[in-house]
Chain A
Amino acid sequence: AQSVTQPDIHITVSEGASLELRCNYSYGATPYLFWYVQSPGQGLQLLLKYFSGDTLVQGIKGFEAEFKRSQSSFNLRKPSVHWSDAAEYFCAVGLNYGGATNKLIFGTGTLLAVQP
């Protein structure tokens, strides 16, 4: 069955430090991969997505993610974290039904805290 694992439930980093959030997926076909961010009381905002092509994708707010097929991973990175990045981050895989990616399977999320 398809699944997404985010091993880190909670991460704390200092402002200005680098960040890497881990995401592993289980899916038999070529996945569509997404990272969303959710601030308290808000809906999910798309940070970036991977459909095909270059395995290093750039997103909004200075985030990037790298797709590694051999490791079934799609880790999210940011070189320097800002206090406003404190939020919950969700990795998701889009199931590819004949070219359509209409079903998203989400991980359980990683809650990021940023220390001043």
Chain B
Amino acid sequence: EAGVVQSPRYKIIEKKQPVAFWCNPISGHNTLYWYLQNLGQGPELLIRYENEEAVDDSQLPKDRFSAERLKGVDSTLKIQPAELGDSAVYLCASSRTPPGLASDTQYFGPGTRLTVL
């Protein structure tokens, strides 16, 4: 079974430029998460999708960050414009959440390392 796929793995941009990250979850996983991991820190949740619906985006900085999961499968996270402080690793994870039951374990992709110059 293929794991969570993310691309690109690395991205270097200048500040004020836009950037997008792509994630394809494990097949059959209806819940998808985007996390931000700063250097020397644990991941922090940005947004969680159940199918197409963003059910928890309370930590997403909506002035510059946006995300979508139009068909309930793959997802894109965008930053526009990027700032120096956005340099970090952006992790995608997925899990299976049966209706009305506890979510299964989250499985993580390799992440996208963003450097903003």
Contact = CB atoms under 8 A, between A and B. Distances in A.
A109 B109 contact: no
A41 B40 contact: no
B80 to A, nearest CB: 25
Interface residues of A, number: 25
A14 interface: no
B103 A46 contact: no
- Interface residues of A: mostly helix, strand, loop or mixed? strand
Nearest to A43: B108
Contact of A100 (B41, B97, B110): B97
B45 A103 contact: yes
B67 interface: no
16 contacts: A4-B42, A36-B108, A42-B110, A43-B108, A43-B110, A45-B108, A99-B101, A102-B55, A102-B56, A102-B95, A103-B45, A104-B43, A104-B45, A106-B42, A108-B40, A109-B42
